[in-house]
Amino acid sequence: MTRKHDWPWIVAAVAAASVLAILLWALFSYLTVWRFDSQTEPTGTPSSGATSEPASQVSLEEGSHAYTMQWGGLQRSYRVFVPQGLSGPAPLVVMLHGGGGSGAHAEKAYGWDQLAASQGFVVAYPSGLGAAVSAWNVDGGGDSDRNCCGQSGRTGVDDVGFVLNMVRTIQADLPIDANRIFATGMSNGGILSYSLACESDVFAAIGPTSATMLVDCPNPNPISVIHIHGLLDTSVPFDGSKGGGMASIDGPPIETVISAWRKTDSCAAPSVSTEGVVTTSIAQCADGRTVELITVADAGHSWPGTPPSEQQGSAPTSSAPIESTQVIWQFFASHPKG
């Protein structure tokens, strides 16, 4: 039985426990997002958590570093390259890896850091999820027939929301020009760049490579588009036939995708030129926008200009004198928001 003179001690103990609980909760909230410098990139499984979290608070340093955030009940990871002596407002390029890749691989493979260092822009490399093969959800809530791609597609991971929150997080810490935010990607990542264009108004231009558009896109905002595709691609066939490989991409013909964006952008008829194995079709559009399609006759599922050892996917080595990263950046640099 509790004695009367024990009550003050009990009240004090309860108050102290409450204060400790508050302090522990504050510490947990602070540690929700932290920076780490290893190249280990975690995977996870989705939950039904809310997907409206505010932009995370991080301190982005010069050079290349890795970061994490919580989004949709999951730990998500991304890398950011900040050139030395950045003076804003600066452009931001979001580089989206292909299926089975990672932000770290995309940073190593495609040469964006070197270009960013010389041209003065920031590059972000988010990573997809997957216990076996990392991938992006590119076609909505996980209830479509396509369910692309991988675990993320099957379970409806909010990858569009994650990428947009990553962009907001970077904008909160660095002097980013809101009119010069761009997205590019290889294969599954390129498909996600189309989803980002369809479901947001953040980006001035996109540069998908070896990709197609799978998301329904009835009323997109006008945006400049440069699309690069190998005509020997069997994973995302140019003619829209069903692709091989684990993903079995089954999208529309690339010409249909490009025609839809020309209509969205109120473009004039395209001019077409061919040099060797490279054919370039350029349509000038309203308000200074452009929709450009580059095809490479002897290229497969690849990022033309990347060394074969760094390629994701099966790809014949093209003879084309084209450096996709340089070509896409030149396009981006010429196409800010109007």
| Residue span of the structural domain in which 54 resides | 33-333
58 pLDDT higher than 90: no
Count of domains for the chain: 1
Dump pLDDT digits (tens) for 278-334. Answer: 999 999 999 999 999 999 999 999 999 876 555 555 555 566 678 999 999 999 999
Would you say residue 290 lies in a domain?
yes
Q: CATH number for the domain including 204?
A: 3.40.50.1820
Would you say residue 256 lies in a domain?
yes
Dump pLDDT digits (tens) for 5-54. Answer: 444 444 455 455 554 444 444 433 333 333 323 333 333 333 323 344 55
- Angle, alpha carbons 94-98-101 (nearest 5°): 100
Would you say residue 272 lies in a domain?
yes
Query: Do 248 and 258 contact (CB within 8 A), yes or no?
Result: no
303 token code pair: 């990022």
125 pLDDT higher than 90: yes
Give the count of alpha carbons within 13 A of 22, CB side only: 6
Q: What is the mean pLDDT of residues 208-213?
A: 96
Would you say residue 114 lies in a domain?
yes
Would you say residue 14 lies in a domain?
no
pTM above 0.85, yes or no: no
Share of the chain above pLDDT 90, in %: 67
Lowest mean pLDDT among 47-56, 155-164, 167-176: 47-56
Would you say residue 338 lies in a domain?
no
Would you say residue 294 lies in a domain?
yes
Helix ranges restricted to H, 174-253: 188-199
Would you say residue 4 lies in a domain?
no
